[in-house]
Amino acid sequence: MPQISVRIKPTHRPSVLSAAQVTIQLEDGSTIEIHDCRVMRNRQGILWAALPSYSVATGKQYEYHPSVVLSPALHREVSDAVLAAYESWQQPIAERRGL
């Protein structure tokens, strides 16, 4: 089972709550790094983790495609790790603000 570590960083993008860098360490010791992950909040107020993607112009519209494709189980593990790291990172900020 891979070990997942997450580094949360602040971001200046208005629709993004934080940026994240994910490192997946495989059983043989090799690692995979995923940069430009994002923590966002949808219109219903639910937090979610977005993996990197790129856009392709199709006329006046854009199509978004994933830069990284993970198995559903690994995607869930990475998303859960990113959200847990964000909540841990966010807690001291809320305490400093008196929330």
In tens, the pLDDT along 40-99 reads: 999 999 999 999 999 999 999 999 999 999 999 999 999 999 999 999 998 876 666 665
Decide if 52 contacts 42 (C-beta within 8 A): no
- The answer to whether the predicted template modeling score (pTM) of the entire model surpasses 0.85 is yes
- CATH number given to 3-97: 3.30.1120.40
Helix (H) or strand (E) holding 57: strand 53-58
Round to whole Å and give the CA distance between 65 and 74: 18
What residue spans define the domains of the chain?
3-97
**Using alpha carbons only, what angle is made at residue 29 by residues 25 and 32, rounded to the nearest 5 degrees?**
40
**Using alpha carbons only, what angle is made at residue 51 by residues 61 and 24, rounded to the nearest 5 degrees?**
160
Indicate the residue type of 26.
L
